[in-house]
Structure 1
């Protein structure tokens, strides 16, 4: 058995000329460390197998036969760990003569518990294939051996195809820091994006004729009652990063601006986790990362306006009927945001050196538990059971909300918009700690607050509408302003009712 430790990158360029440029730049970059006869170029053919019910996939396993230079090898990859774009996954490789897998050749310990490999053997079918040219460099940086590969080709499932254009760097031997140092050099020189989307994952989606869908919400961080504070902190950062990168990948493939909003939410969760655990994790340990996360948050400043205008003009938007009935108004609003420019702006960010450097730093910091490098660390605080801490953090958050929004007070649309961040923080605390408490009570408690947050989003859309029509030249502008004000007042009345209900509810963590 081998354990892969690798980083994967999607390459932004598409044309053959771009590919040649990428190849040239990689060659120049690795030249100083290239081992004797360390470069090769080969054509690889791979067929991926599973049962018709995708039993292997259900156990997070992948099975393929790779053919190269008239030799074949069957490979089993089992469940591993992925943090950001860093993959650690057990891999079993066995040379074979035939072109159909023989599962009996893999060692018994390779299989997950409860997996019946003999039953799987009888039902294996070929699902999809990959064909690509692999450029490979074996390099040595100080005492570390690293393999750099550049793959160009396609995934094919029943005639449906998707391109392969990616770089992988794998640590063969030595210190993992060398892998990250090389990754920084690559992202400085090339338009790359860290990616968790494997060739196999793309193949399964093609085979099933599926696309990734936007997740409706952040869910909850996976915690258990026996965890300590340190593990809960790490899980929360990883949860936020995973949500962020999932939607980054979705945006890269589909160009949907709504996915960028979900990237932003993942970033919010990571930032909130640092703030939430500020009394347990030394702030000095994360100064640089938090500074870069603040920078990243500012890169989305344009997003609110773009999405609110898009909501006004969308066929599925709740204000569409009023807008669609007026062709001049619809045309006027559609000119306020050039969607293609917004998409290009997000793409440029996701393939930028600074953006990827931030993710690389965060990944390495998590992997090495970088917070333990500081003398200010309070071992007792880190080893506290998370349950008691979770109750206190939830209670602190609840007290702030009660003080901010007393039951007997009343609030305007502007007041609600100003309170968006505070309510959002309280809800993020629930995301971090929620899995420790009864689900039904938690969902019931959060529901009116989520309604209020949706109301705030709708208020901001209506205020954007009013801003957009300030210079609208048509005669019905006053009528449109009256309509918007009426909508705002109606919405605030509903939100006030939700707030009254929410403040009277019994907290689920008591």
Structure 2
């Protein structure tokens, strides 16, 4: 058995022409080019897929080999999976050739063998370099070809960095050098998963809301922190893949939720972890949040222009407003700019830095004994402290004042979002009924603030209308704002009377 440790990148087509020049500064032990044809097998019921295993036969230079990859771990673009390889003489998989102990007790490989069938294939050229960097051997492989399932095809442009032997940190350092050249994006989806999706045997990415993490009060602080970071990163990458396939705004909004969870988790546990390591990627995390700050505006404009401006239907100047709002939409980042962001060196450095930090568990570096003890302590007490701190900040913000105007409510939107994210991080530690009773009014307030802010793009447009239309818009806006403010004030008065569920 071998355990792969590799970084996977999806790359732009021009990367292949740039790689040879870039690699001239490295010691190359071996360089070759291969044509690899792979057929993937499973049962009609996807018995192997259900145990997170992948079975393929690879044909290369007239020789065949069957490989099974078992369930492993994946963080960012780092993949670690145990695999078993066995030579074959015929193009038919034989599960009996694999060690018997690899199969779970509930799995009968003989039964699976009887109903195996080919599902999809990959066919690509692999250009391969075996590098030596300070005694560490790394195989760099550039794959270019296609995934095929029946008549359906998808291109393959991937770069894999696999640790052959030595220090895994060299894998990340090489990856960072490559990322500086641009055109690379850490990939969370394997060729096999793409093949299952292309064959219609695995669902394409679906939009999903950020849900609470299952927790227990006795979970250690470190265990909780790591689980929250993995959840945030997984949510982020899932919706990155979804946007690249669909490019609708909702994917980006959920991607931002994943980024926010990662950031909030670092803030919640930051006092317990080491800061001696290089954490430049944290600056990149703040940069990314700034790069996505236009999403609120995009959501407002999308709502106002939906269904040909249906929201504005009672206004005589609807068509004029719709035209102006659509002109504002045209100024927002477009699909090409966003794709460039996801393939940019700084975005890649952020993903790689976070992945490396999680892989090496760098938060432990040089910890004092007191910090180590805090990390090992049950998370319940820390959760109570953080929820109290967040609640104190909220109560002493403008949201705790006797009365607010519209502008003041909108200014508190970010603070309320952060407060609710803290609650989401620890919510499963507390009884559901009490938790929901406390959170729902504040979620309603956040939705009310967002509805109020939805009117912001219209506030300056009355100056561009004639006197009659401008007066009509101003009156309409004032009526909408008055209604929303009354509802917000009532909800806030009730929410401030609630007793915190964590006390």
User: Do Structure 1 and Structure 2 share a fold, with TM-score over 0.5?
Assistant: yes
In 1, Cα distance between the equivalents of 2:309 and 2:161? Answer: 44
1:147 and 1:169 in contact (8 A); partners too = yes
Q: C-alpha distance in 2, partners of 1:478/1:12?
A: 52
Corresponding residue number in structure 1 for 2:382? 389
The SS at the match of 2:219 is coil
Q: Offset at 1:504?
A: 4.2
**Aligned residue runs from structure 1 range 173-192, under 5 A:** 173-192=165-184
| Residue 453 of structure 1: how far off its partner (Å) | 2.0
Maintained 8 Å contact 2:315/2:472: no
1:253 maps onto 2:245 in alignment: yes
1:374 is matched with which residue?
A: 366
State the aligned residue count: 501
1:12-27 equivalent positions in 2, closer than 5 A: 12-13=12-13, 18=14, 22-27=15-20
Q: How big is the shift at 1:199?
A: 1.3
Q: Which runs of 5+ in 2 are unaligned?
A: none
Does the alignment pair 1:3 with 2:38? no
Deviations 1:165-217 (A, max 9, x none): 1111111111011100110111111311111011122122222274312222x
Q: Give RMSD over aligned pairs.
A: 2.7
List aligned pairs for 1:148-227, cutoff 5 A. Answer: 148-208=140-200, 210-216=203-209, 218-227=210-219
Q: Distance in 2 between matches of 1:339 and 1:76?
A: 49
State the shift of 1:244 in Å.
1.5
The match for 2:355 is 363
| Secondary structure class of the residue paired with 2:162 | strand
- Give deviations 1:248-286, integer Å, cap 9, x for gaps: 222222222332222222222222112111332245557
Following superposition, the deviation at residue 400 of structure 1 comes to: 3.3
Q: CA deviation at 1:85?
A: 0.9
CA contact (8 A) 2:325 2:457 kept: no
- Say which of 86, 101, 104 aligns to 1:94: 86
Contact 2:221/2:378, CA 8 A, preserved across alignment: yes
What is the aligned partner in structure 2 of residue 329 from structure 1?
321
The equivalent of 2:300 in structure 1 is 308
Q: 2:462, 2:471 within 8 Å by CA — same for their partners in 1?
A: no
Q: CA 1:418 to 1:133, structure 2 compared with 1: closer, same or farther past 3 Å? A: same
Q: Report what 1:64 is aligned to.
A: 56
Aligned equivalent of 1:353, options 345, 363, 368: 345
CA shift, 1:444, in A, is 4.4
Cα distance in 2, alignment partners of residues 112 and 482 from structure 1: 69
Q: Which residue of 1 aligns with 2:489?
A: 496
2:448 to 433, 442, 455: 455
**Which sections of structure 1, spanning at least 5 residues, go unmatched?**
none
**Closer, same or farther in 2 for the Cα pair 1:254/1:322, shift >3 Å?**
farther
Matched, 1:420 2:428: no
Instruction: Note if 1:105 corresponds to 2:101.
Output: no
Describe the superposition over 1:36-87 as per-residue Cα deviations: whole angstroms up to 9, x where unpaired.
Answer: 4x22222222222222222222222222222222222222111111111111
Contact 1:407–1:500 at 8 Å: present in 2 too?
no
TM-score, structure 1 normalization: 0.90
Kindly state the Cα deviation for residue 317 of structure 1 after the two structures are TM-superposed. Answer: 8.4
SS class of match (1:49): strand
400, 403, 410: which one pairs with 2:393? 400
Q: Measured at CA, do residues 301 and 389 of structure 1 come closer, stay the same or move farther in structure 2, by a change above 3 Å?
A: closer
| Offset of residue 442 of structure 1 | 3.4
Deviation string 1:307-343 (CA, Å, 9 cap, x unpaired) is 3212211239883655899333322221112278432
2:478 to 463, 485, 501: 485
Higher mean C-alpha deviation, range 58-67 or range 204-213: 204-213
Q: 1:348 aligns to what SS in structure 2?
A: helix
1:467: which partner in 2? 460
Q: How does 1:121-136 map to 2 (within 5 A)?
A: 121-136=113-128
Cα separation, 1, equivalents of 2:342 and 2:349: 11
Shift of residue 395, structure 1, vs aligned partner: 3.1
Q: What is the alpha-carbon distance in structure 1 between the residues aligned to residue 97 and residue 461 of structure 2?
A: 67
Shift of 1:406: 7.0
User: For the residues of structure 2 that align with 1:317 and 1:93, how far apart are their CA atoms?
Assistant: 59
TM-score, normalization: structure 2?
0.91
Separation in structure 1 between the aligned mates of residue 104 and residue 444 of structure 2, nearest angstrom: 42
What secondary structure sits across from 2:328 in the alignment?
coil
Question: Contact (CA 8 Å) 1:47, 1:130: kept in 2 or not?
Answer: yes
* Distance change (3 Å), C-alpha of 1:313 and 1:144: same
